[in-house]
C-alpha cells in the first residue's frame, strides 16, 4: 500500500511501549499533555490502545483472517497500519467510490459490504483492470447484478460478486413471526441463495465468488441482560446450521467451491470464526471501541478514540460549556447515540440540550473545578463516524503526538 503522508509532531519523538502509564496519569491527563497548544475541537487515537485492540481481535479470530471494516475507521493511515499486522487481510468498504479510491492507493482486496447503484463508480471500477481484480461487489437482487453486468460487458471485464444473505433470527411463523436483527438482505434460505447465484452467474461478465452473513443481533448488540444473551445464543445456533446449508446450496448451484465466506463483526468474532464454512471474519469497531461496545463480555474494551473540546464559558455554578460537540451517531434517536464526556470524570450532558451544534453545556461536579480554557475529553457512540467531522486525527503515543494524519474527509473523500 502507498504510505499516507503525515505531518511530523511538534514535540520530540514519542516513546514506544504500552501498558499502564508509568507516571500514574489518567487518560485525560496524558491526552491533555499530548495536545497542549493544539486548539479544539480535535480528535485523537491512542496508539497503545489501538494496537492492543488489534492484537485482541486477531487472538479472538483464532487464525481466521480478519477483514477490516473501513466505515469504523475512515482514516487511511490507520487502515494501512492495521493491515500491516499479521492476522488482518483486506478491507470491507462501504461505498463503491471508496473502494476504487482505496485500490488506487494500494489496497488489493476490497469487499463491498453493501450493494451499490452508483453506476459512475461501477463503470470506473470496470474500466480499471486493477480495480476490477481487487473489488468484490455485494448483491442481494438481480437488479443490482444487472448494473454490474452492463458495466462488465461495456469494458469486456469480469466483475467479482458476493451474495449478501440475511443472518437475522426469526422466531415463530406467519403473522406471529418476530424478526430479531437488522433489515438487510431479502435472501435467506439455501434455495433463495442458490437461485440468486445461478441468476447472477447467468448474466455473463460476473463471477459469484462468495457469500456474506452479518449477524448484527450478535455482533452489534451488547450483553446487557440475560434476555439479550439468550437471544444471541439462539441466533448463533440457528445461523450455524443455516449458514452451512446456504454455502452447500450455492456451491452445488455453481458447481465449484466458494473462495469467500464472510461472517461476523466485532461482537461475534469467536463464534463466527469457529464455524467450519467461514473463511474470514470482519471487525472494525473493535479497533477504536466506541461507547456502544462497552457492554460486551467477549472482550475487554480499551477505548482508543477520543474527541477533545475546550471550555469556553462557565454559565453558572456546576456548569461548563465547551465549544462543539454535536457528534451524534446514527441509529435510533436515543441517548445512547450521544457522545459521552469521560475526562474529567463525573461530567454529564444537559438532558434538555444534549450535544450542541456549536456549544455543549455540561453539568460539572464540584470536584472537577473546570475553568475557561480547560479541555474535556469525549468518546463517540460509534467508531468511524466521528472522523467525518474532522480533517485530521492526532495519533498519540504516551503523552505525545507521534503523527498527525488526514481522515477520509481530510483527503477529500466523502462518499456517504
Query: Pick from 249, 266, 289: which residue ends a domain?
Result: 289
How confident is the model over 302-328, as a mean pLDDT? 96
Query: Pick from 269, 289, 309: which residue ends a domain?
Result: 289
Res. 241 pLDDT band, cuts 50 70 90 = confident
Q: Would 9 be classed as within a structural domain?
A: no
Average predicted confidence (pLDDT) for the chain: 88
pLDDT at 178: 63
Portion of the chain with pLDDT greater than 90, in percent? 73
Same-domain check for residues 242 and 305: no
Range of the domain at 200: 49-289
Greater pLDDT, 270 or 388? 388
Say whether pLDDT at 15 is over 50: no
65-79, 178-192, 194-208, 348-362: which has the minimum mean pLDDT? 178-192
Same-domain check for residues 191 and 336: no
Same-domain check for residues 222 and 334: no
Contact 388/38 with Cβ under 8 angstroms?
no
Res. 17 pLDDT band, cuts 50 70 90 = very low
pLDDT at 134: 98
pLDDT at 179: 57
Q: Would 109 be classed as within a structural domain?
A: yes
Same-domain check for residues 75 and 35: no
3 state DSSP class of 18: coil
The total number of structural domains in the chain stands at: 2
pLDDT at 406: 98
Say whether pLDDT at 231 is over 50: yes
Q: What angle do CA 273, 275, 276 make, to 5 degrees?
A: 115
Greater pLDDT, 65 or 16? 65
Query: Strand 400-406 relative to strand 135-139: parallel, antiparallel, unpaired?
Result: unpaired
CA dihedral 378, 381, 382, 387 (to 10 degrees): -30
Res. 152 pLDDT band, cuts 50 70 90 = very high
**Which stretches does DSSP call E strand in 35-141?**
42-46, 66-69, 88-93, 110-112, 135-139
pLDDT at 264: 84
Same-domain check for residues 186 and 327: no
Rounded distance between C-alpha atoms, residue 278 and residue 253, angstroms: 18
Same-domain check for residues 270 and 175: yes
Say whether pLDDT at 211 is over 60: yes
Say whether pLDDT at 247 is over 90: yes
Rounded distance between C-alpha atoms, residue 34 and residue 305, angstroms: 14
Res. 222 pLDDT band, cuts 50 70 90 = low
Same-domain check for residues 36 and 109: no
Same-domain check for residues 275 and 135: yes
How confident is the model over 336-356, as a mean pLDDT? 94
3 state DSSP class of 229: helix
Rounded distance between C-alpha atoms, residue 333 and residue 382, angstroms: 13
Same-domain check for residues 322 and 398: yes
Say whether pLDDT at 239 is over 60: yes
Q: Would 10 be classed as within a structural domain?
A: no
Q: Would 2 be classed as within a structural domain?
A: no
Query: Strand 178-180 relative to strand 169-171: parallel, antiparallel, unpaired?
Result: antiparallel
Residue 405's CATH number: 2.40.37.20
Contact 67/111 with Cβ under 8 angstroms?
yes
How many other CB atoms sit within 10 Å of the CB of residue 284?
26
pLDDT at 10: 34
**Which stretches does DSSP call E strand in 337-399?**
340-343, 348-349, 359-363, 375-379, 392-397
Same-domain check for residues 246 and 320: no
Same-domain check for residues 152 and 194: yes
Q: Would 19 be classed as within a structural domain?
A: no
Portion of the chain with pLDDT greater than 70, in percent? 86
Say whether pLDDT at 223 is over 60: no
Report in angstroms the alpha-carbon separations of 172 from 169, 175, 177, 234: 10, 8, 4, 13
Q: Would 283 be classed as within a structural domain?
A: yes
Extract the C-alpha cell encoding 180. 430479531
pLDDT at 25: 84
Say whether pLDDT at 185 is over 90: no
- Torsion-angle region of 174 (φ positive above 0: left; ψ -120 to 50: alpha; else: beta): left
Instruction: Give, as one character, the DSSP assignment of residue 112.
Output: E
Residue 201's CATH number: 3.20.20.10
16-30, 68-82, 137-151: which has the minimum mean pLDDT? 16-30
Q: Would 95 be classed as within a structural domain?
A: yes
Same-domain check for residues 227 and 179: yes
Q: Is 330 exposed, middle or buried (0-12, 13-18, 19+ CB in 10 A)?
A: exposed
Say whether pLDDT at 3 is over 60: no
Say whether pLDDT at 242 is over 90: no
3 state DSSP class of 39: coil
> Alpha carbon 19 to chain centroid distance?
25
> Residue 376: beta bridge partners?
309
Say whether pLDDT at 63 is over 50: yes
pTM for the whole thing? 0.88
**For residue range 362-408, what is the model confidence (pLDDT) as tens digits?**
999 987 789 999 999 999 999 999 999 999 999 999 999 999 999 99
Q: Would 18 be classed as within a structural domain?
A: no
Query: Pick from 289, 317, 344: which residue ends a domain?
Result: 289
Amino acid at each position: 500500500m502507498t504510505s499516507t503522508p503525515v505531518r511530523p509532531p511538534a514535540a520530540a519523538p514519542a516513546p514506544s511501549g504500552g501498558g499502564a502509564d508509568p507516571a500514574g496519569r489518567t487518560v485525560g491527563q496524558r491526552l491533555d499533555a499530548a495536545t497542549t497548544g493544539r486548539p479544539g475541537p480535535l480528535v485523537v487515537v491512542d496508539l497503545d490502545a489501538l494496537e492492543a485492540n488489534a492484537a485482541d481481535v486477531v487472538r479472538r479470530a483464532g487464525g481466521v483472517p480478519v477483514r477490516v471494516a473501513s466505515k469504523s475507521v475512515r482514516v487511511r493511515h490507520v487502515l494501512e497500519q492495521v493491515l500491516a499486522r499479521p492476522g488482518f487481510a483486506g478491507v470491507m468498504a462501504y461505498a463503491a467510490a471508496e473502494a476504487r479510491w482505496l485500490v488506487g492507493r494500494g489496497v488489493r482486496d476490497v469487499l463491498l459490504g453493501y450493494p451499490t447503484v452508483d453506476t459512475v463508480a461501477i463503470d470506473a471500477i470496470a474500466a480499471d483492470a486493477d480495480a476490477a481484480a481487487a473489488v468484490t461487489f455485494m448483491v442481494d437482487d438481480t437488479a443490482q447484478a444487472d448494473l454490474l453486468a452492463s458495466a462488465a460487458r461495456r469494458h469486456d471485464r469480469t466483475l467479482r460478486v458476493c451474495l449478501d444473505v440475511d443472518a437475522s433470527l426469526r422466531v415463530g411463523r406467519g403473522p406471529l413471526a418476530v424478526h430479531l436483527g437488522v433489515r438487510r438482505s431479502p435472501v435467506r434460505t439455501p434455495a433463495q441463495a442458490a437461485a440468486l447465484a445461478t441468476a447472477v452467474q447467468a448474466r455473463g461478465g460476473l463471477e459469484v465468488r462468495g457469500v456474506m452473513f452479518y449477524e448484527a443481533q450478535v455482533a452489534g448488540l451488547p450483553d446487557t441482560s440475560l434476555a439479550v444473551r439468550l437471544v444471541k445464543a439462539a441466533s448463533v445456533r440457528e445461523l450455524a446450521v443455516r449458514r452451512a446449508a446456504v454455502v452447500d446450496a450455492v456451491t452445488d448451484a455453481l458447481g465449484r467451491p466458494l473462495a469467500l465466506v464472510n461472517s461476523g463483526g466485532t461482537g461475534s468474532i469467536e463464534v463466527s470464526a469457529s464455524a467450519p464454512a467461514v473463511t474470514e471474519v470482519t471487525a472494525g469497531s473493535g479497533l477504536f471501541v466506541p461507547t456502544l461496545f462497552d457492554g460486551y463480555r467477549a472482550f475487554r474494551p480499551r477505548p482508543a478514540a477520543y474527541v477533545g473540546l475546550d471550555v469556553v464559558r462557565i454559565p453558572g455554578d456546576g456548569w461548563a460549556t465547551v465549544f462543539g460537540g454535536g457528534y451524534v451517531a446514527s441509529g435510533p434517536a436515543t441517548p445512547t447515540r450521544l457522545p459521552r464526556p469521560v475526562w474529567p470524570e463525573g461530567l454529564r450532558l444537559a438532558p434538555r440540550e444534549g450535544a450542541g451544534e456549536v456549544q455543549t453545556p455540561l453539568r460539572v461536579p464540584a470536584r472537577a473545578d473546570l475553568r475557561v480554557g480547560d479541555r474535556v475529553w469525549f468518546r463517540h457512540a460509534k467508531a468511524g463516524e466521528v472522523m467525518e467531522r474532522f480533517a485530521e486525527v492526532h495519533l498519540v503515543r504516551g503523552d505525545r503526538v507521534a503523527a498527525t494524519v488526514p481522515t477520509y474527509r481530510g483527503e477529500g473523500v466523502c462518499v456517504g
